[in-house]
């Protein structure tokens, strides 16, 4: 009974984890050989036979039968008089095989063996989990939500292994309930208190990259290469792609007919806007494409300082900057250049205008900064947009915007 109890955990673990049979047998064998060394001082004349399929084991002791009084090594030899008590037909020189009862080791030794076996199996389990997910870093996994906490979500994979999706790796609009199946990319494998912690991510650029690989066969086949991805999770992403086949339009292939391929990804990313552009080594062209959907009038580039001054029509400035400055931020990350946006009024009759900074005695600085963030740095640029449009683009309340517009209008009426 003791031997069966010892092996039950081993058998259950083997079935759950699919550990290779030789490794599992070696672990169990080592545990019992340790028991033998403690009791007999050596394990040389013992065979530990593990039956991984049946979930049991047998310990066999073998000694050479010698004449009475001729025993030099009690571990390797047995006197004839003792051997014939076991089997009368034995003769001197034969080998005696004798099964060792596990209960003979004593309760304390058996308990210690159980604990050692559990510890070794636990270590094996950790090693298997670490190897499995180290090999899967950057891959998408499907997992079921098991527990939702404030700072993270605990998920279980198809084999019941625990995975963690931290709040920082979730898209701001993500909301999951227990039992729901979600997709995420394996970001890394950490060790916490000597236990593996599998960290998943839905905000990583590699998550979007893998989703594209799933949806776009040309990427999976290597005909189209994703050169770079930058993201503001839940807001906007920019994907630069390049085709190795001149017959394939990489942007068109990624977007699909009427957006069929990209729509599924957008839904998965909680309506994150995805701009797919053609990659180019021409930095001026790359910056121009990266500022999509804005249209650039002209550009000055300082390659040494990695700086670009971009000039746009007044109605394109807010598009270039984007909501909360996201568009220009991603364009800078994609191109590697610092980008400054300027309004280009060439060809227009320039109207009298006033810089918003001139109104700092009537309008609070943080309000002015919020207007400037969306490309409205003068009085007329603010008045050119409706209250509703300004409310949509900025984080300002309607009353604040109306007060600012009133102050600006009064200034022009004075003029």
Task: Tell me whether residue 351 is in a domain.
Answer: no
Task: Tell me whether residue 236 is in a domain.
Answer: yes
Confidence of residue 4 (pLDDT cuts 50, 70, 90): very low
pTM score of the predicted model: 0.64
Average pLDDT, the chain: 83
One domain, residues 171 and 186: yes
pLDDT for residue 102? 73
pLDDT for residue 18? 54
Task: Tell me whether residue 212 is in a domain.
Answer: no
Residues counted in the chain: 415
Average pLDDT over residues 347-364: 70
pLDDT, tens digit, 9 for 90 and up, residues 241-297: 999 888 889 999 999 888 889 999 999 999 999 999 999 999 999 999 999 888 888
**Is 50 exceeded by the pLDDT of residue 3?**
no
Average pLDDT over residues 304-330: 87
Task: Tell me whether residue 140 is in a domain.
Answer: yes
Structure tokens at 130: 């670490």
Q: What percent of the chain has pLDDT over 90?
A: 37
CATH code where residue 284 lies: 3.30.300.20
Stronger pLDDT, 268 or 32, i.e. the higher one = 268
pLDDT for residue 282? 92
Task: Tell me whether residue 288 is in a domain.
Answer: yes
Confidence of residue 345 (pLDDT cuts 50, 70, 90): low
Confidence of residue 409 (pLDDT cuts 50, 70, 90): confident
Task: Tell me whether residue 268 is in a domain.
Answer: yes
Structurally, the chain folds into a number of domains equal to: 4
Task: Tell me whether residue 207 is in a domain.
Answer: no
CATH code where residue 47 lies: 3.30.1480.10
Close Cβ partners of 118 (under 8 Å, ≥ 6 residues apart): 9
pLDDT for residue 329? 93
d(CA 277, CA 275): 6
d(CA 199, CA 206): 14
One domain, residues 27 and 88: yes
Of 343, 373, 398, the residue at which a domain comes to its end is 343
Of 317, 343, 369, the residue at which a domain comes to its end is 343
Task: Tell me whether residue 215 is in a domain.
Answer: no
d(CA 115, CA 121): 10
Asked if 54 and 25 count as a contact pair (C-beta separation under 8 A), the reply is no
Domain that holds residue 407: 356-414
One domain, residues 158 and 250: no
pLDDT, tens digit, 9 for 90 and up, residues 177-198: 999 999 999 999 988 877 889 9
Average pLDDT over residues 397-408: 90
One domain, residues 277 and 332: yes
pLDDT for residue 350? 45
């Amino acid at each position: 009974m003791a031997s069966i109890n010892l092996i039950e955990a081993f058998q259950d673990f083997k079935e759950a984890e699919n550990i290779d049979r030789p490794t599992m047998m070696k672990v169990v064998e080592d545990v019992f050989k340790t028991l033998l060394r403690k009791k007999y001082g050596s394990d040389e004349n013992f065979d530990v036979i593990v039956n991984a399929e049946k979930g049991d084991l047998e310990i066999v002791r073998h000694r050479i039968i010698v004449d009475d009084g001729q025993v030099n090594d009690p571990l390797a030899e047995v006197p004839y008089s003792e051997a014939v008590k076991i089997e009368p037909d034995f003769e001197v020189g034969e080998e005696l095989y004798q099964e060792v009862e596990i209960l003979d080791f004593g309760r304390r030794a058996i308990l210690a063996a159980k604990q050692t076996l559990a510890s070794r199996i636990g270590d094996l389990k950790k090693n298997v989990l670490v190897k499995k997910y180290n090999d899967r870093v950057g891959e998408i996994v499907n997992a079921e939500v098991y527990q939702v906490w404030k700072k993270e979500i605990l998920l279980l994979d198809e084999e019941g292994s625990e995975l963690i999706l931290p709040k920082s790796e979730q898209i701001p609009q993500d909301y999951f309930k227990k039992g729901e199946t979600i997709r995420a990319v394996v970001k890394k494998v950490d060790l916490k208190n000597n236990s593996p912690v599998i960290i998943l991510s839905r905000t990583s650029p590699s998550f979007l990259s893998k989703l594209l690989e799933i949806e776009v066969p040309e990427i999976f086949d290597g005909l189209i290469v994703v050169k770079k991805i930058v993201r503001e999770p839940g807001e906007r992403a920019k994907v630069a792609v390049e085709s190795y086949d001149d017959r394939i339009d990489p942007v068109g292939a990624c977007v699909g007919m009427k957006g069929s391929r990209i729509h599924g990804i957008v839904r998965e990313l909680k309506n994150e806007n995805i701009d797919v552009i053609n990659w180019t080594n021409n930095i001026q062209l790359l910056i121009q494409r990266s500022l999509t959907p804005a249209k650039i009038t002209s550009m000055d580039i300082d390659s040494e300082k990695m700086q670009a001054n971009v000039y746009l029509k007044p109605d394109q400035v807010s598009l270039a900057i984007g909501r909360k400055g996201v568009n220009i931020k991603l364009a800078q990350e994609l191109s590697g250049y610092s980008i400054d946006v300027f309004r280009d009024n060439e060809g227009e009759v320039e109207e009298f205008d006033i810089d918003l900074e001139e109104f700092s005695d009537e309008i609070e600085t943080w309000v002015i900064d919020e207007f400037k963030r969306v490309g409205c740095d003068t009085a007329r640029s603010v008045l050119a947009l409706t209250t509703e449009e300004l409310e949509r683009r900025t984080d300002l309340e309607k009353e604040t915007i109306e007060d600012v517009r009133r102050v600006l209008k009064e200034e022009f009426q004075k003029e």
